[in-house]
Structure 1
């Protein structure tokens, strides 16, 4: 069992959110559910908790109420293999009611914040040439969805 699990609060639609997340990641799966019982804060028999995994990482979705709000101070970082994966995930989240933020951040329709990030960008933002890294970082600051080629071009002074 994973020692620390990310627990995400939803306004009664956690199952819909989990179904959407399962559609984004081929290795995602539900690992269990827990129903509300008598004298709980929900309807007995309805799903209270959905436990699920993405890329071997455990998460819990709780069907709560509208008392908790998400913000980008806490986000889920997706390390993408390439621009095609960035584009696929970004577009899917946006198409399902997501909202673009900036610098690779996007909020899904439930308000959960994600960073959709091409892992290769780290080598330009943290590269050994400090002036080039500044150019790459400044280019990234102007983006909503990350454009890896534009970051690389900025690093290389193109």
Structure 2
């Protein structure tokens, strides 16, 4: 087997979405794009196939109509180094009709779900001290956008912040 690559089915906005994603995420590019011929009823000129890379990973997409909308059952996970990175992705992906969801999840304006997760959250919820992990999870459950200061405050009397 040569590989497994996510394939995204858009209603009719693959080109716009992929251009947005590749501009937002460093190390990204549109590799190739083909369009439906005019002879295809209702689809002429729309994206039949787009190959793109996000942060160096391959994805494919297409415009294919509204039959199969995105659901939260599949999401793209963005690992963030700090609050600034969380805020950058969160603000961009929720703009223009995106929707905030609980626990660091959101839907972008095309309905694709994303998880915008700081590395520190993962460290805290995997912490060897179960009290630290529990406090971090409880704090996360009250958040939409993950707030690192809020997480650190929640665990402050059980563990020292990274230094």
TM superposition score normalised by structure 1: 0.91
Indicate if the aligned counterparts of 2:11 and 2:69 stay in contact, CA closer than 8 A.
no
- Per the alignment, residue 9 of structure 2 pairs with 9
- Per the alignment, residue 67 of structure 1 pairs with 67
- Per the alignment, residue 121 of structure 2 pairs with 121
TM-superposed CA distance for 1:45, in Å, is 4.7
- Per the alignment, residue 43 of structure 2 pairs with 43
**In terms of mean alpha carbon deviation, does 130-139 or 33-42 score higher?**
33-42
Structure 1 runs not aligned, ≥5 long: none
TM superposition score normalised by structure 2: 0.89
Q: What is the root-mean-square deviation of aligned Cα atoms in Å? A: 2.0
Q: Secondary structure at the match of 1:143?
A: coil
Q: Secondary structure at the match of 1:73?
A: coil
* 2: CA distance, partners of 1:62 / 1:42: 14
* 1: CA distance, partners of 2:28 / 2:15: 14
- Per the alignment, residue 132 of structure 1 pairs with 132
- Per the alignment, residue 83 of structure 2 pairs with 83
Indicate if the aligned counterparts of 1:78 and 1:115 stay in contact, CA closer than 8 A.
yes
Q: Secondary structure at the match of 1:111?
A: coil
TM-superposed CA distance for 1:46, in Å, is 3.8
TM-superposed CA distance for 1:38, in Å, is 7.1
